[in-house]
A and B are shown apart, each in its own frame.
Chain A
């Protein structure tokens, strides 16, 4: 049995229907102790915790919603090129900042990615053409096993610098959503083009030309 069956509604003290009386903040009952105001420790703690939680959740949402940078300054990073003879600058530590003044093409790939295999010969070919104009090609190998990466580079006869994304930081910085993804950066360090898909030769050449002119 519940308490409410033992206590009835109080005798109506006004013309209004009972429920409205109560809802409108009705008169205090006879014999009630005076209400004591206390500082609510719970209230303060709860609000603090909630604000903290909302901050965390909001930040996570903000992070998630941030899309891949398609313009503006390209995030800085440094890499160590694979120590493989056929690659230029083998074993060297390179910073993106070192290439300020050159057009840079960054390509994210992995050996198990089938579309990457389609565009690999394209990149090598275009690289060889634009080398003399100072265009830098940089391949970033993500989430891949080193030997598989080496085998891949050997298979496609790749000579431009390629480096592993140590610690997975670069793929986070560039917020790539999959592979292959390619970014073209102009001489001022600004991203001029981004494609979250295999790049066709025509597009790649056009965008490099565009970056060279800007």
Chain B
């Protein structure tokens, strides 16, 4: 954790004063160096803590960018607010709930309420289970057909007639044959 020493605080304060004095000059020149006002992390709060929350959120202003990566001024302000709330002792859940309440549900990368979260994960799970069931049924159907050896398998419209490998060849022998062939081929 980065702790602000008193020396650093004094240094920053001095720089702030200096910047304020130079402000009129800054108006003429395109402000490349400064990136807005300086922000001090509250004591005991690290950017890593802020980011661990921010990465679970989206910035409403920039589309599709997680809050910890977004570079817009609005996003920076939001991260600073998270830092401030952390400094006041808010928990991660409280902070995220507060943001969702203030800015809407699409600010959170995952639904906040447990019910919604269950729904979000359950829906694909249910779909996949249904598909899986169909899959199991299909495998069983194929297996059943395969066990009826000797019967002509129905085909219509296709012109397949012969199977590439006769039924009565021992598969182990066939495998060895393939290997030997590989060895012989040049």
Residues from chain B with a CB closer than 8 A to the CB of A145 are 77-78, 80-81
A108-132 near B? 1/0 per residue, CB < 8 Å = 0011100000000000000000000
The yes or no answer to A168 lying at the interface (CB within 8 A) is: yes
- Nearest opposing residue in chain A for B161, CB measure: A7
Cβ of A167 < 8 Å from any Cβ of B? yes
A116 to B102, CA, bound (A): 21
B interface size (C-beta, 8 A): 25
Main secondary structure, interface of A, reads: loop
- B155 interface residue, CB < 8 Å from A? yes
Q: Bound complex: CA of A33 vs CA of B155, how far in Å?
A: 7
Known: A3-B164, A29-B159. A168 touches B77 (CB 8 A): no
A35 to B157 Cα, complex, angstroms: 8
The residue in chain A whose Cβ has the minimal distance to the Cβ of B156 is A35
Expressed in whole angstroms, the minimum distance between the Cβ of B97 and any Cβ of chain A is 12
Q: Tell me the nearest residue of chain A to B76, going by C-beta.
A: A112
From residue 92 to 142 of chain A, which have CB atoms closer than 8 A to chain B? 110-112
B64-105 Cβ-contact flags toward A at 8 Å (1 or 0):
000000001110011011000000000000000000011110
CA distance A36 to B155 in the complex (A): 10
Decide: A112 and B157 in contact? CB cutoff 8 A: no
B21 interface contact, C-beta 8 A: no
> Is A20 interfacial (CB-CB < 8 Å)?
no
The answer to the question of B160 belonging to the interface, with a C-beta cut-off of 8 Å to chain A, is yes
Are A112 and B162 closer than 8 Å at their CB atoms?
no
Would A167 and B155 be within 8 Å (CB), given that A3-B164, A7-B160, A112-B77 are in contact? no
Q: Collect the chain B residues with CB atoms within 8 Å of residue A143's CB.
A: 60-61, 74, 103
Q: For B60, list chain A residues within 8 Å (CB).
A: 143, 168
Number of A residues with CB within 8 Å of any CB on chain B: 25
Judged by a CB distance under 8 angstroms, whether B33 is at the interface is no
A176 to chain B, nearest CB (A): 12
Which residues on the B side are within 8 Å of A172 (C-beta)?
A: 104
Chain B residues near A164: list those with CB within 8 A. Answer: 102
Residues of the B chain whose Cβ atoms lie less than 8 Å from the Cβ of A6: 161-162, 164
CA distance A74 to B84 in the complex (A): 37
A85 on the B face (CB < 8 A): no
Q: What separation, in Å, do the CA atoms of A167 and B102 have in the docked complex?
A: 5
Interface check B154, CB cutoff 8 A: yes
Q: Known contacts being A166-B101, A168-B60, is A110 close to B156, with CB within 8 Å?
A: no
Nearest Cβ on chain A to B139's Cβ, whole angstroms: 16
* Alpha-carbon distance between A7 and B164 when the two chains are bound, in angstroms: 11
20 residue pairs A–B, Cβ–Cβ below 8 Å: A1-B164, A3-B161, A6-B161, A6-B164, A7-B160, A7-B161, A7-B162, A29-B159, A32-B156, A33-B152, A36-B154, A112-B74, A143-B61, A143-B74, A144-B77, A145-B78, A145-B80, A166-B101, A168-B104, A169-B104
- Nearest 5 pairs of A and B residues by beta carbon: A168-B104, A112-B73, A145-B81, A35-B156, A143-B60
**B interface with A by C-beta (< 8 Å):** 60-61, 72-74, 77-78, 80-81, 101-104, 106-107, 152, 154-157, 159-162, 164
